[in-house]
Amino acid sequence: MPERSLAGRVALVTGASRGIGRAAALALASEGASVAVGFGSNAGAAEQVAEEVRRHGVDAVTLGADLSDAEQAAALVPRTLEALGGVDVVVNNAGLARDNLAMRMSDADWRAVIDVDLTAAFVVCRAALRPMLRQRWGRIINVSSISGVRGNPGQANYAAAKAGLIGMTKSLAREVGSRTITVNAVAPGFIETDMTETLDTQVRVRAVEQIPLGRMGTADEVAAAIAFLASPLSSYITGHVLHVDGGMGA
């Protein structure tokens, strides 16, 4: 059997108890990476993901944190180092949405989304860069959104946070590229997850009408893009935003 591309590496995935984060954790494990499964409140679901990760013959640990608290977010990195002995790959996937028209959006809903979707990702990156710079190797993948590329009515907070992730990705890529650390983003479109399952049928129909491929994507398809950006196959790609959107951003 050929050696897996991430054998011996350690990955930290935030928001990994379900959806895209879960799929990313399993995709990285299938390539040989041990995984720190970050979660917010559902410890049972996170442990279930960790068990699935271990079936790939690698180690896994679950790490709970309130990502609206920057100190808890940053602490995920030293906790990963302590539990698994390193941190080579970071996937900033955790996020929340509190949609409303701008005229009706509260300050609390604005801050909540910025804090979790953008600030938490920044402090995790900042903490992870210390060990990555020392070892002169690392992969950071930030999960943005098509909303952060082209905007979306009723999502001023979410779109601003996801656009901020893209700007941060490009800036960090320029800062740390000389140390063999790549920083990239994926921008999913409409993906079949727990969040989209709650959409009204007419909303889903209108969404699919915007997609050239004529269907929603899957979490596994986004995870495949994340695994590619973490792999040696992407070693000359940094500062890039990989759209996984069925052509919505075309």
Catalytically active residues are 158
What's the distance, CA 51 to chain centroid? 20
The 8-class DSSP code of residue 215 comes to S
Which of 58-70 are b and which e, b meaning 16 or more Cβ less than 10 Å from the residue's Cβ?
Answer: bbbbbbbbebbeb
Q: Is residue 189 a contact partner of residue 213, using CB atoms and an 8 Å limit?
A: no
| AA identity, residue 191 | I
Distance CA 183, CA 7 (A): 20
Distance CA 37, CA 21 (A): 9
Q: Is residue 249 a contact partner of residue 150, using CB atoms and an 8 Å limit?
A: yes
Q: How many helices (H) and strands (E) does the chain have?
A: 10, 9
SS3 187: strand
Nearest to 64 by CA among 20, 17, 116: 17
The helix (run of H) or strand (run of E) holding residue 11 is strand 10-13
